[in-house]
Amino acid sequence: MAFPFLSLRRAFPRIASRSARPTLPGEAAVFAAFLAALVWAPLWYGGNDRLAFGVDAIVFPALAAAHEILQVGHERATPRAFQGVAIPAALFFAVVLWILFQMSHGAPAPFVNPIWGITEEALGRGIVGSISVDPELTARALVRLLTDASVFWLALRLGRERSAALVAGVAAIGCAYAAYGLVAAAFPEFPRLPHTAFDRGYVASTFVNRNDYAAYAGVGLIAMVALLSGHCRVHIAGVAPMRARLGAAIEASVGRGAALVGGCWLMLAALLLTGSRGGIIASGAGLMVFALMRRRRSARSSLPWAIGLIVIAVAVWVFGGVVGGKLAEGGVSDANRLAVYDLTLQSIRDRPLLGWGYGTFRDVFPMYRDRSISVLGTWSEAHNTYLEVLQGLGLVFGPLLILCVALPAFRCVQRARRRRDELAPAVAAGAAALIGTHSMIDFSVQIPAVAITFMTLLGAGAAEWHDGE
């Protein structure tokens, strides 16, 4: 995959040495198909549509299976890939087994949710219940979870030689959707999907909800900043005087670097024009974590970041009117969401160990809804993924699912701090900080395109830290 503005081998020599390894026959085709699937993921409402996600649920597991078939009979056997992710994988399989048990109709009577008994009395006939209040919703959520796991696994396997290319792919795809979002927001007559959120000039690209797109744009921005930082390091390395370093940094922003600078501006403008308070704050947290992972102890290495802060300040000054208006209109907190969190906690206290069934918030919440929130609208998500996971899986398996993501992210932080010339672990750490922060106030990670893109970067980062350890 060739981008005219990238020089990955020069910017990341450790990656260049790994890319010299022989690849398996057909692996390049799997990688190209994987990138094509990443292009598709946000196209139809961010994947938050039955048809769109149906394609994802077929394509990504099929690509993962095809890649494993290619491994048969070669030295790079699958068990070796488990060396770095054995504990998260064990936790994940335990969670999957629990979800299957939740949706089964053979659970012992004490485990069955009482709502099935009420339904049986109302219908006047026997019903075989389950732990989940809606096994069909639980099955759908499980399919999404397995799809995300297949994306992580495929990125983990492909990322051993192509981790930087995966980051570059995410950055390029993010720029394409940002460009479309900006053009569609500026020109109302521009072709767009029905029901996408282009109200009052906000940017949402192909997503229904601009808050979800803000998380996707933030992840793409981190990937773009990573490429730009690597490009600048190549030009600044070995330049001693500060004035000369400043000149080298300016020189790095022309030619190939101009496309990277332009891509960062594009992603930042799209992010700010979403007007999403939570998405912008979470993206700032992600960028801060990424900067900490990449910053070296030398004071001279701070020059690119100082320039970056100036650029961000200018962008906020130019495009920040939308954000300021949104903050002035609604403040930082949301009383309705706080009330929803409280009601969700009540539902967790009622079923603390068994849960209500993975992915069943939409059916459970109406039983607890009261006058503490407005009568207008429906709440199909808790706007806090952590609470929703705990409500669905219970206080035993819910934390295990969270750890399945937290452990690889923590290892990426360790790797990025230890080897600062590696790109993917630092990007994965920044993306994890973004998604982890945003998941406390919204449900963006439950949108397929956001989850798939995040799992791609996390898998690429995991490929870096488990390789050679």
Q: What CA–CA distance (Å, rounded) separates 344 from 387? A: 7
Identity of residue 452? I
Buried b (16+ CB within 10 A) or exposed e, 188-225: eeeebbeebbbeeebbbbbbbbbbbbbbbbbbbbbbbb
- 439-450 average pLDDT score: 95
Residue 311: pLDDT band with limits 50, 70, 90 = low
Q: Which two tokens stand for residue 171?
A: 């950055």
Q: Which two tokens stand for residue 400?
A: 């295990």
Are 7 and 257 a contacting pair, CB within 8 Å? no
Which range in 140-149, 276-285, 321-330, 406-415 is most confidently predicted, on average pLDDT? 140-149
Q: What is the pLDDT of residues 226-281, one digit of tens each?
A: 998 887 776 565 455 555 555 555 555 666 778 888 899 899 999 999 989 899 99
Residue 330 has pLDDT above 60, yes or no: no
Nearest to 48 by CA among 177, 196, 167, 220: 196
Q: What is the pLDDT of residue 4?
A: 42
Mean model confidence pLDDT for the chain: 82
* Residues constituting the chain: 469
Are 431 and 219 a contacting pair, CB within 8 Å? yes
Backbone torsions φ then ψ of 154, nearest 5 degrees: -65, -40
For the chain, the distance separating the N- and C-terminal CA atoms, rounded to the nearest angstrom, is 28
Q: What is the pLDDT of residue 117?
A: 73
Q: What is the pLDDT of residue 13?
A: 46
Q: What CA–CA distance (Å, rounded) separates 34 from 14? A: 23
Cα separation values, 163 from 427, 453, 454, Å: 10, 13, 13
Q: What is the pLDDT of residue 235?
A: 59
Q: What is the pLDDT of residue 320?
A: 54
Concatenate the DSSP letters of all residues of 263-323 into one string.
Answer: HHHHHHHHHHTT--HHHHHHHHHHHHHHHHHH--SSGGGGHHHHHHHHHHHHHHHHHTHHH
pTM of the predicted model, to two decimals?
0.88
Residue 189 has pLDDT above 90, yes or no: no
Q: What CA–CA distance (Å, rounded) separates 375 from 336? A: 10
DSSP state of 23: P
Q: What is the pLDDT of residue 182?
A: 92
Are 153 and 89 a contacting pair, CB within 8 Å? no
Are 8 and 168 a contacting pair, CB within 8 Å? yes
Q: What is the pLDDT of residue 17?
A: 44
- 65-89 average pLDDT score: 75
Higher-confidence position of 97 and 188: 97
- 83-96 average pLDDT score: 91
- Nearest 5°: CA angle at 113, between 108 and 118? 115
User: Comparing 77-86, 174-183, 222-231, 330-339, which segment has the lowest mean pLDDT?
Assistant: 77-86
- 376-399 average pLDDT score: 94
Are 227 and 6 a contacting pair, CB within 8 Å? yes
- 395-405 average pLDDT score: 97
Q: What is the pLDDT of residue 200?
A: 59
Q: What is the pLDDT of residue 299?
A: 46
Q: What percent of the chain has pLDDT over 90?
A: 53
Q: What CA–CA distance (Å, rounded) separates 432 from 152? A: 13
Identity of residue 33? A
Q: What is the pLDDT of residue 369?
A: 93
Q: What is the pLDDT of residue 223?
A: 96
Residues 6 or more apart in contact with residue 260 via CB below 8 angstroms: 5, 6, 224, 227, 228, 231
Nearest to 206 by CA among 440, 384, 450, 460: 450
Are 204 and 196 a contacting pair, CB within 8 Å? yes
Q: What is the pLDDT of residues 190-215, one digit of tens each?
A: 887 776 655 556 899 999 889 999 99
Residue that has been written with the tokens 């808790």 in this structure: 382
DSSP state of 24: P
- 157-177 average pLDDT score: 93
Residues 6 or more apart in contact with residue 156 via CB below 8 angstroms: 81, 85, 459, 460, 462, 463, 466
Q: What is the pLDDT of residue 108?
A: 87
Which range in 184-198, 256-270, 363-377, 438-452 is most confidently predicted, on average pLDDT? 438-452
Residues 6 or more apart in contact with residue 38 via CB below 8 angstroms: 169, 170, 173, 452, 453, 456
Higher-confidence position of 372 and 23: 372
Are 160 and 84 a contacting pair, CB within 8 Å? no
Residues 6 or more apart in contact with residue 281 via CB below 8 angstroms: 437
